[in-house]
Amino acid sequence: DIEIPESHPRYLSLLTRHRIEEGVEKGITSKQGLIAEGRGEAFDYLLGEETIPSADAAERAAAAQLLLAEHPVLSVNGNVAALVPGEMVELAEAVGADLEVNLFNRTDERIDAIVSHLRDHGADAVKGQTADGRIPNLDHERAKVDADGIGSADVVLVPLEDGDRAEALAAMGKVEIVVDLNPMSRSAQSAAIPIIDNIVRAIPNVTEHARELEGTSREELEAIVEDFDREAALAEAEKAIRGGELA
């Protein structure tokens, strides 16, 4: 294990990069995942590596939406499993959601490795190995989901999802919450609630909001979701990335 001093100015970025590297070594993260990490880091750098106010608002709306859901499912891919395995388990517990492993480049080996990894981080049941459901309008391998997981979910949280699949899930009528550092990506653009933030900051903050909102009435939760303005959140993030006033 490498030692990264916490005082290093790029501590979080180095730690994140190291976790992705380890994920690849363990067979959890794909090589494509390394490229995705690089893209994410560039956007995070431009955002100032912080949760901007519009992202915090999205994270609160996401918490409210997950608490309102009948059957919420949190999707986990190789980067998510490498970066925030324990945090995803905690969020699932806080909002009563299922966890489902869902991969863009699906192999049974990688699915199994991620399921065990999540179990090591405290998950009991993890979906994704049955793959008896299909997302319409996607080619065979990419379409696979569990029928009793994402297949029948009303609200899905899909962090770092590929644009095509994000669009196909939204087209199925699911309320989609996306975590993606690029506000211009098709994934973020197709989400009902786009969270433009690093997943390492976003997931713990959604959990914190969910805990704060516990016991809040449905009416109030619905108002939080309705007050969230997705267009404004996307525009705010893009403005922050492009350099605020200079844009």
The annotation status of 13 as a binding-site residue, yes or no, is: no
Contact 55, 197 (CB under 8 A): yes
Q: Does 185 bind Mg ion (CB under 5 A)?
A: yes
Flag whether 164 is marked binding.
no
Residue 43 near ligand ATP by CB under 6 A? yes
- 3-state SS assignment for residue 202: helix
Is there a binding annotation on residue 17?
Answer: yes
Nearest approach in angstroms of CB 216 to ligand ATP is 27
Q: In angstroms, give the least distance from the CB of 20 to ligand ATP.
A: 8
Identify the residue whose tokens are 């490229």.
35
The one-letter amino acid code at 171 reads A
Among 12, 163, 204, 235, binds ligand ATP (CB under 6 A): 163
Stretch that binds ligand ATP, among 37-45, 55-63, 69-77, 89-97 (CB under 6 A): 37-45
Residue 164, Cβ neighbours under 10 Å: how many?
17
What six digits make up the tokens of 29? 């993260």
144-145 and 155-159 as β-strands: parallel, antiparallel, unpaired? Answer: unpaired
> 168 — alpha (psi -120 to 50), left (phi > 0) or beta?
alpha
In angstroms, the CA 37 to CA 184 distance is 16
Residue 163 makes contact with Mg ion by CB under 5 A = yes
Q: Which position among 39, 71, 119, 239 is part of the footprint of ligand ATP (CB under 6 A)?
A: 39
Q: Which one among 54, 187, 189, 190 touches Mg ion, defined by CB under 5 A?
A: 187
DSSP one-letter string for 132-198: -EE-TTS-HHHHEE-TTTGGG-SEEEEET--HHHHHHHHHTT-EEEEE-S-TTSHHHHH-SEEE-S-
User: Binding string to ligand ATP for residues 84 to 123, with x set by CB under 6 A, is what?
Assistant: ----------------------------------------
Binding residue for ligand ATP, selected from 101, 160, 168, 241, defined by CB under 6 A = 160
Residue 137 known to bind ligand: no
Q: Which residues bind Mg ion (CB under 5 A)?
A: 163, 185, 187
Q: Which residues bind ligand ATP (CB under 6 A)?
A: 36-37, 39-40, 43, 83, 160, 162-163, 179-182, 185-187, 198-199
